[in-house]
Amino acid sequence: MEATARLGVLASGRGSNVRALIEAHARGDLSPPIAVVISNNSTAGALALARDHGIATAHISSRTCADPSATLLQTLRDHDANVLVLAGYMKQLDPSVVAAFAGRSVNIHPAPLPRFGGPGMFGDHVHRAVLAAGVTTTGPTVHRVTEDYDEGETLAHHPVPVQPGDDISSLAARVLTAEHALYWQTIEAQFGRGSADSR
């Protein structure tokens, strides 16, 4: 791939992982810059956050264009984004987008895969399932994006203990803290300075 990675970030919500990526790049820990932040939600905090940091943004949904997937791909090209980063993006990617970024797209999931992944497994649903299963360890997983939910190759996992007395809220908060570190570290390892993909 190109010598210099540029991230196209897709997010639907408040953007806490987007913030973590922005801060990691500002510190010099994450070498690839964020070229554009795209959301299917016009009121997403991730868009406001990106604008506040001078990062290009776009709102792309079926309400704004006839072919959202084609518009998404064109927007990524327009900003020279060559790595796709899903950060709480709540829409399944069209196969054309997955194919265009094959091997160059990543997602973060808040629990071990494949056990706690698949359709419908997002947010509190994941943490509820973890607690119901009675496991002692959970934690975020970074994986490559494929056409099927949460089925791509696992790139990294950070174990997070499930503590006695945990509820969904306390567990989610601890996992999110781990996500914020794991995601930029994995992206840097895969696409940053000295990575195999950057050479």
Catalytic positions: 109
Beta bridge partners of 38: 10, 58
Task: Give me 195's structure tokens.
Answer: 């990575």
Q: Which helix (H) or strand (E) segment is 47 a member of?
A: helix 45-52
DSSP conformation class of 95:
H
How far apart, in Å, are the Cα atoms of 118 and each of 109, 136, 150, 160, 198? 10, 21, 6, 20, 31
